[in-house]
Structure 1
Amino acid sequence: MNQLFRLPQIGEANPIAEPSAEFRVPFAQSGAFVCKFIIGEPSDQAVCCGAPVADGKSWCAYHRRIVFEPTRPGRIR
């Protein structure tokens, strides 16, 4: 029998929980060391994730998995 699954769950060894909505902040007010992933449509009133980021990246681990596609062995680019 076939099972339904979300595509990002394939091969994911350590699932990462989505950051809480309480971190969200207007993009213009986001400071350093917070996730800059824009929630919804980009506009002059854009809201970003705002979750803490300690490693100097632009996105938290959850949104980094959405933004970047993992490399696959044998894949030609």
Structure 2
Amino acid sequence: MNQLVRMSQISEADPIAEPSSKLRVPFAQSGAFVCKFIIGEPNDQAVCCGAPVADGKSWCAFHRRIVFEPARPGRLR
């Protein structure tokens, strides 16, 4: 049986501040431990976020929340 979940019952994740625009770097010059989220149009002059990342991730915590959709509550069994 499906169970309804009210939106008020779903807690919002803790807000994460957007990284500073001062960290942005050209994509071609981005290093191994910086966010690769492309700001603006993806072309040959692409600029990425450049914020530090951990554990070999491709995106910082702020941009991971944009790229990945949070899991929806499932059915209770």
TM-score tier by shorter-chain length is 0.7 to 0.9
> Is the aligned partner of 1:41 residue 2:41?
yes
- Structure 1 stretches (4+) deviating beyond 2 angstroms? 10-13
Give 1 or 2 for the bigger CA radius of gyration.
2
Matched, 1:31 2:27: no
- Distance in 2 separating the partners of 1:11 and 1:28: 38
Does residue 53 in structure 1 map to residue 53 in structure 2?
yes
Q: What is the one-letter code of the residue matched to 1:46?
A: A
Cα RMSD after superposing both structures: 1.5
Give the aligned length: 66
Instruction: String of CA shifts for 1:11-70, please: whole Å, max 9, x gaps.
Output: 423100000001000000001010000000100000000000122100000000000001
- Structure 2: unaligned runs, 5 residues or longer: 1-9
* Alignment gaps of 5+ in structure 1: 1-9
Identity %: 88
TM-score normalised to structure 1 length? 0.79
How far, CA to CA, are the matches of 1:58 and 1:26 in structure 2? Answer: 15
